Amino acid sequence: MGRPAGPTSDTKRLICERALEVFAEKGYAAATMRDVAAAVGLREASLYSHFPGKQAIFDAAVEHQLDRLTQALRSRRALAHPADDASAYLADGPALAEVVLASYEPLFADAGITRLRHVLEGARHTDPRCDELYRTVFVKRPLELQRAIFSRLVDAGLFSPCDVDLAARQFHGPVFLALCEGTPWPQARGLVERHLVAFLAQHRAKE
């Protein structure tokens, strides 16, 4: 059992959140420890008592947001990891639409995840590590989850046999494009709902 959150962990969490705001505004490369300290309301020397440097803050901020994303997905029965229980996706009608929407909403609507995406988008072309993180969070992992879901649906006889990797790319592609375009969630939600209807019509097993 982990230790209960205390003043130190609360301060580190606040630093991670404020730092991400600074990185999103200034860009990771341009932001300084002084900028982060000012955003948190600490002296720069005090900031170093919590983190050894900017890279350590960035790493902790990424971990914090990915933990939040995992919790948000699992709280609504959406997959956060390919090994998670995918039974919610065996539903039909509104119940299926609800879990599919839940799987994408944080990517569009959660302020912390949106800031993380902006930071990674701004740094990915000059920082290979940021590029890999961007691809992992917004491309590779969603495709892994879709492949796991579609494999389960095919095995259950709810989807016709198909190339699940191609199906995953077909489903995630339009949603990822909307994400890249900066589509607000209300509009993206409508797109996902229409896309789901069309996708099911193509892949659902014929009775």
Res 3: pLDDT: 45
Contact yes or no for 103/175 (Cβ under 8 A): no
Do residues 112 and 21 both lie within one domain?
A: no
Res 129: pLDDT: 94
Angle between helices 185-203 and 164-180 (to 10 degrees): 160
Res 31: pLDDT: 95
Two tokens at 1?
Answer: 């059992």
Instruction: Determine the 3-state secondary structure of 141 from DSSP.
Output: helix
Instruction: Determine the 3-state secondary structure of 92 from DSSP.
Output: coil
70: in domain? no
Do residues 51 and 88 both lie within one domain?
A: no
Q: How many Cβ atoms from other residues are within 10 Å of residue 140's Cβ?
A: 12
68: in domain? no
Positions in the chain short of pLDDT 50: 1-6
Which CATH number goes with the domain that contains 48? 1.10.10.60
- pLDDT mean across residues, the chain: 93
Domain count, the chain: 2
pLDDT digits over 70-84, tens only?
999 999 999 999 999
- pTM, full prediction: 0.89
Two tokens at 184?
Answer: 């607000």
At 159, give phi and psi (nearest 5°): -115, 145
Res 206: pLDDT: 82
Res 7: pLDDT: 53
Q: What's the distance, Cα to Cα, between the start and end of the chain in Å?
A: 49
Do residues 31 and 132 both lie within one domain?
A: no
Instruction: Let me know the angle formed at the C-alpha of 135 by 132 and 136, rounded to the nearest 5 degrees.
Output: 85
Do residues 35 and 81 both lie within one domain?
A: no
E strands, the chain, in order: none
Domain range for 143 is 76-203
